[in-house]
């Protein structure tokens, strides 16, 4: 039996998370400051969401905007944030650490993955800053992370579709490749067919600018995305 294709939605507000859940999202990525790519949210927000929605909430662990090379002080903050998120009911965690040469910092990432256990970890789009994505894939696998959120190194997932397809094939069942960036109802069916990915990520910022959200339209857009992923799954079964 074919696996369901999952849809994860990134949000920074309670109303957006509730609309995502109503619209059929399978998972929430909870962040603050999505305009800079997402930072660690306040624990009070996570607790509030846990009272309102039942789908898993993956929490961003990112202490600041900018690059993904962290000082010892920032690394300590990430450890503390992981412990806080686990205690507050997170269903998973999202983070990524690079070395100064922009390769994956396997040792530090693995240390955080061990601290996060038993929650699954997504290595976020720090991956796309790496100079050689096939090697970065192998490095993230070695870290123990369960997923990689990536646009295939391109400005958007549709632009990186060919590389995403190659990453999905190379990953096999060792780790899940989650295409993200620039995905909406208008392109998700084509992207699902092109990449053969089983999970997708969207914040719908290409349709709804941050902090200018129409939650009714947001929910409707999500419903269309969910319907088109169901169509993609059906077409995969026929092929």
pTM for this predicted structure:
0.94
Residue 36 neighbours by CB distance under 10 Å? 12
CATH number, residue 106: 3.20.20.380
**What is the tally of structural domains in the chain?**
1
Give the pLDDT band (50/70/90) at residue 209. low
Is 82 among the domain residues?
Answer: yes
Q: Are 8 and 199 in contact (CB under 8 A)?
A: yes
pLDDT tens-digit series, residues 53-66:
999 999 999 999 99
Is 132 among the domain residues?
Answer: yes
Q: Domain residues for 170?
A: 6-238
Is 106 among the domain residues?
Answer: yes
Is 23 among the domain residues?
Answer: yes
pLDDT tens-digit series, residues 191-206:
999 999 999 999 887 6
> Which residues lie across from 158 on neighbouring strands?
none
Is 189 among the domain residues?
Answer: yes
Is 187 among the domain residues?
Answer: yes
Q: What residues have CB less than 8 Å from 55, skipping those under 6 apart?
A: 21, 25, 26, 27, 28
Average pLDDT over residues 34-42: 94
pLDDT tens-digit series, residues 96-126:
999 999 999 999 999 999 999 999 999 999 9
Is 1 among the domain residues?
Answer: no
Is 171 among the domain residues?
Answer: yes
Distance CA 45, CA 50 (A): 9
């Amino acid at each position: 039996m074919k696996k369901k294709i999952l849809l994860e939605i990134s949000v920074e507000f309670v109303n957006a998370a509730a609309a995502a859940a109503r619209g059929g999202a399978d998972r929430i990525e909870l962040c603050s400051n999505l305009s800079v790519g997402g930072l660690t949210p306040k624990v009070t927000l996570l607790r509030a969401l846990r009272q309102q929605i039942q789908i898993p909430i993956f929490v961003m662990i990112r202490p600041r905007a900018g690059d993904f090379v962290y000082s010892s002080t920032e690394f300590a903050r990430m450890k503390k944030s992981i412990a806080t998120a686990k205690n507050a009911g997170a269903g998973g965690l999202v983070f990524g650490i690079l070395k100064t040469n922009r390769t994956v910092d396997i040792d530090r990432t693995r240390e955080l993955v061990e601290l996060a256990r038993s929650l699954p970890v997504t290595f976020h789009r720090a991956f796309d800053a790496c100079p050689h994505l096939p090697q970065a894939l192998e490095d993230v696998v070695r870290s123990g992370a369960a997923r990689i959120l990536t646009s295939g190194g391109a400005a958007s997932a549709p632009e990186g579709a060919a590389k995403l397809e190659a990453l999905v094939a190379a990953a096999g069942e060792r780790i899940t490749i989650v295409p993200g960036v620039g995905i909406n109802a208008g392109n998700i069916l084509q992207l699902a067919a092109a990449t053969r990915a089983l999970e997708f990520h969207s914040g719908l910022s290409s349709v709804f600018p941050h902090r200018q959200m129409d939650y009714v339209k947001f929910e409707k857009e999500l419903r269309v995305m969910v319907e088109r992923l169901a169509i993609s799954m059906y077409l995969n079964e026929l092929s």
